[in-house]
Structure 1
Amino acid sequence: MRILHKIILVAFFLVGGTLFAQQEGVITNYFYHMNSYNPAYVGVDGETMVVASFRQQWTGVMDAPSAEAVSFGTTLGKNLGLGISVYNSNTFVESQTFTGIDFSYRLQLSQGTDLYLGLKAGGNAYSVNTSGLETYNVNTDPSISSISRFNPNVGVGALLKNGKWYASLAVPRLLSTERADNRDGVATTVMAKPHVYATSGYEFLLNPGANLMLRPSAMGRYVSGAPVSVDFNTMLSFDNNFEFGGSYRTDGAFAGLINFSIKKRLLIGYAYEISTRSELASAKNTNEFLLRFLF
C-alpha cells in the first residue's frame, strides 16, 4: 500500500506539478475565515469570536496536502476591529505557517453604508524537507537546501457593506517571498508573488416569518502567472440555526456544505469536496471541518 501511495503522488507531481503549493491555500467554507484573506473583515460583525478549520485533501493518500486555519476577532469601541489569523499548510515536502495580526477601521459613508479598511502585519514560517524529494525522484537545485526561514509580510484590504450586500478587495501578503517550485523535474527556488482576492455576496430574505435566507457569494483569486480561480458558493439558511448549500471552484472542484449552530454560540460545519481534475482520479475527495464560537 505504501508503494501505491508513492506511485499516486509521483503521478500527481508529474502531471500537475503538485509537489509544491502553486497558490495560497483555499478554504471551501471561506465565508467564516474572511479575515485570513482580508483584514478589513475583522470585527465587522460586532462579535468576539474564534474560528477554526481543518482541511484534508485527497483522503487516503499518504502525505497529501492538509491545512489548518484559526482566527480570532473582536471589536475595540465602535469603529475599530482587532484580531489574529493563523494558516498552516503542509504540501508533501513543503510546510508553511502564516501568522498575521489584523486591524480594521470603519468609515460610515452614509446611512447603512460602511467602508472598512484593513491592515495585516505578520510573517510566514516556511521550510522544505529536501530529503523527502528523493521519494519523488526529483533533482534538487543547490539553492533549495537553504530554504527554512521566516519571512515578514504585510497586507491590506477594503470592505464595502450595505445592509444585505457586500464587496471586498484585498492583498493579504504584499511582499514577494522565496519558495520552492518544480521546474522541469528540478526543485529550485522562485519568488512567491502576491495574491489578490475579490469577494462579493448578497443575502436574500425568502420568508420573513421563518427567517429563511439565501446567501450567494463568490471569491476570486488572482496571482500573476496562474489562471484566475473563482469559488461560487450558495447557502440556504434557516433562522441562522442551520444552513446547507453547494460550492463550485472554476479550477475543478464541487463541494457540498452543511453548518448548524447550538444556542447561537457554537457553529459546527462540514464540507465534502470532489475534484473534477482527471489527474486526481485515484484520490478526488477532500474533507473540511469547521468550528466557530461566539463569546
Structure 2
Amino acid sequence: MKKIYILVGLLLLTSSRLLAQQESTITFYKDNLNLINPAFVGVEGTSKLQTLYRKQWTGIKDSPSTQAISFMMPLQNKKFAVGLSIVHDEVFIEKQTFIAVDFSYDVKLTEKLNLFMGIKAGGNNYNVNTEGLETYNLISDPSLEPISRFNPNIGVGFYLEHDKYYVSLSSPKILNTERAKKEEGYATVATDRAHYYLSGGYNIYLSPSLHLKPSVMVRYVNGAPFSTDFLATAVINEKVHFGATYRTDSTIAGMVKFAVGKNFILGYAYEYTVNSNLLGKANGSNEFFLQYIF
C-alpha cells in the first residue's frame, strides 16, 4: 500500500499534463443543486440551511471525502434569492475548499412556468501536503514542497420550473484554472476545466399520498467521458422518500429521506460499484444529508 501512495503522490507532483477529471459526485444531487447551479437558491422560495457529508470507498485508506454546507433565502417578494455554499474535498494528500455566493432571479414565463437565472461567484483554495508522502530518501526532496493556491472563479445557471417537471442547465466554474503550476522547478498538476451539468425531472402523481419523481443528471468536462445519473424516487405523503440511482460508471445507490417534525429533513444514501475489479477492497460509499427549513 505504501508503494501505491508513493506512486500516486509522484504522479500528482511530477506530471506536466494530466487528463481532466470529474468533480465530486453527490447522490443527493437534487437537494443540493445549488452547489452546481446558482439559480436553484430561489426555486423553492424558502430559507434553508443544509449540510452533506460523503465518504467514498470506505474500505480504502485516505479515499475521497466531501463535506458541504449551504444556506439560501429569498428576497423581495421571492423574485430575488441569495445563497452561500462551502464545499470541502479531501483525497490522500490533496485538500481543496470552494466557497461561493449565489444570486438568483425569477422570471415568470406563464402561470405555471418559471425561469430562474443565477450567477455564482467565489474561489477555490487548493492545497497539497507533501508531508503525507512516504519516500525511500532520508533527505527530503526539494521538488516535493507543499503547494497552496487560491483560484477565483464564476459560474452561471438556469432552472426552468413547472409544477410537473424541471430542467436545469449550469456551469458552476467557467474559468479554467491550474491547481498548481510549474514555478522554479516545481511540477504542474491537473488543470481544472469548466464542467457542464444538465438535469431534468418529472412528477408522476399516482394518488394524493403517493407520487414518483424520475430524474436524470448528465455531467461533462472536456477530456473526460460523460457521466450520467438515473434516479427514481417514490414520495409518500410528502414526508418519506425512497430512491434508487444508477450511474453510467457501473455504480448503483439506494437512498432514503424523511421529515422529522416540520423543520428537519434527514437523508442517507449508500452507493456501491458493481464492477469490483475497479476498486478491489472498496466497501462502497456512504452519504448523509441534513436540512433545516426556517
TM-score (norm: length of structure 1): 0.87
Q: Is the 8 A contact 1:8 1:282 kept in 2?
A: no
SS at match of 2:35: helix
Match of 1:255 among 228, 245, 253: 253
Q: Which moved more, 1:187-196 or 1:213-222?
A: 187-196
Distance in structure 2 (CA, Å) of the matches to 1:52 and 1:226: 28
Shift of 1:105: 0.2
CA pair 264-203 structure 1, distance change in 2 beyond 3 A: farther
3-state secondary structure, aligned to 1:110:
coil
Distance of aligned partners of 1:136 and 1:274 in 2 relative to their CA distance in 1, 3 Å threshold: farther
Please report how far the alpha carbon of residue 135 of structure 1 lies from its aligned counterpart in structure 2 after TM superposition.
6.1
Question: Which has the larger displacement, 116-125 or 59-68?
Answer: 59-68
Specify the alignment match of 1:216 in structure 2. 214
Aligned equivalent of 1:53:
52
Percentage identity across paired residues of the two chains: 44
Q: Secondary structure at the match of 1:62?
A: coil
User: 1-side partners of 2:74 and 2:166: how far apart?
Assistant: 19
The equivalent residue for 1:82 is: 82
Query: 1:9 deviation in Å?
Result: 5.9
Contact 1:241 1:264 in 2 (8 A): no
The secondary structure found in structure 2 opposite 1:189 is coil
In structure 2, C-alpha distance between the alignment counterparts of 1:231 and 1:136, rounded to whole Å: 42
2:149/2:180 contact within 8 Å kept: no
1:279 lines up with 2:278 in the alignment: yes
Deviations 1:192-224 (A, max 9, x none): 10100111011111112xx21101111111000
Higher relative contact order (CA 8 A, sep 6+): 2
- What 5-or-longer segments of structure 2 have no aligned partner? 13-17
1:118-171 superposed Cα distances (whole Å, 9 cap, x missing partner): 00001001011123343699xx994x7463011111100001111120001101
Equivalent pair of 1:39/1:172 in contact (CA under 8 Å): yes
Q: Please say which of residues 277-286 and 235-244 is displaced more in the overlay.
A: 277-286
Residue equivalent to 2:15 = none
Please identify which structure carries the higher helix content. 1
Q: Secondary structure at the match of 1:32?
A: coil
Checking the alignment, whether the CA contact within 8 Å between 2:255 and 2:269 is kept in structure 1 is: yes
Q: Which runs of 5+ in 1 are unaligned?
A: none
Partner residue of 1:177?
177
Shift of the 141–195 alpha-carbon distance from structure 1 to 2, 3 Å rule, reads farther
Question: What does residue 189 of structure 1 align with?
Answer: 189
Q: What corresponds to 1:31 in structure 2?
A: 30
Q: Who is 1:120 aligned against?
A: 120
Match of 1:238 in 2: 236
> TM-score normalised to the size of structure 2?
0.87
Paired position in structure 2 for 1:62: 61
In structure 1, give the amino acid aligned to 2:48. M
> Whole-Å Cα distance in 2 between the matches of residues 216 and 269 of structure 1?
18
Q: Secondary structure at the match of 2:278?
A: helix
CA contact (8 A) 1:47 1:74 kept: yes
Summarize the alignment of residues 190-209 of structure 1 with structure 2, pairs less than 5 Å apart.
190-208=190-208
Question: 2:154 matched to 1:154?
Answer: yes
- Give the secondary structure class of the aligned counterpart of 2:31: helix
The 1-side partners of 2:33 and 2:73 are apart by 14
- Structure 2 CA distance, aligned partners of 1:152 and 1:38? 17
Q: 1:146 to 1:216 in 2, by over 3 A?
A: same
Shift of 1:281: 2.3
For 2:76 and 2:176, how far apart are their aligned partners in 1? 34
* C-alpha contact 1:141 1:188 (8 A) present in aligned 2: no
Alignment correspondent of 1:105: 105
1:179 CA displacement = 2.1
Q: For residue 250 of structure 2, what is the amino acid of its counterpart?
A: G
